[in-house]
Amino acid sequence: MAYLEFAECGGAAVATAAYEAPRPAARFSALEWWVIAAAQRDKLSSLDAPGPVARLLGALFPSNDNDSDRDADPRVEALRRMAVLAWHKSYVIPKWEIEGFRRAGFTLDHYELLQASIAAAKAKQRSARAARPRHAARRAWIPLEPSYGLS
């Protein structure tokens, strides 16, 4: 059996360069970053379809508000769904949600960027919360002394 050494003629560098093709960096637009930030205040229940009572109330009292998620751009809605899940569940996201995110035109690099930015924001919130004094939100305790007329 013959063995050829491709490293001598520079074959290893060509093979490595072909294998590791550079990928464009994942980026979000300003609107997409706004959607990610706004998703922090959304509840997990906003991802569910409206129940029978909500549909009945919607039929009885139609609203002129333009906040229906089903009328939104599918790409933005997929990003909102993924951001809500990331804010609430961190990295524990169902496979079908990630696949829906990719079908909307996002890549796994976008997913990693989303998760990393939300994890960094959560860490910053935790450190700010830890830096506040615990008693700052409570009312100061006033000790009662006998000079106040109580004995």
**CA-derived radius of gyration, the chain:** 27
pLDDT one-digit tens code per residue, 42-97: 888 887 777 788 778 778 887 765 455 555 789 999 999 999 999 999 899 999 99
Q: Is residue 83 a contact partner of residue 114, using CB atoms and an 8 Å limit?
A: yes
All structural domains of the chain with their residue ranges: 28-131
Cα–Cα distance for residue pair 81/89, rounded to 1 Å: 12
pLDDT at site 102:
95
H/E run at residue 12: helix 11-19
Q: Is residue 80 a contact partner of residue 42, using CB atoms and an 8 Å limit?
A: yes
Two tokens at 17? 């360069």
Cα–Cα distance for residue pair 90/102, rounded to 1 Å: 18
pLDDT at site 62:
79
Among the listed residues 74, 68, 40, 37, the one whose alpha carbon sits nearest the alpha carbon of residue 54: 68
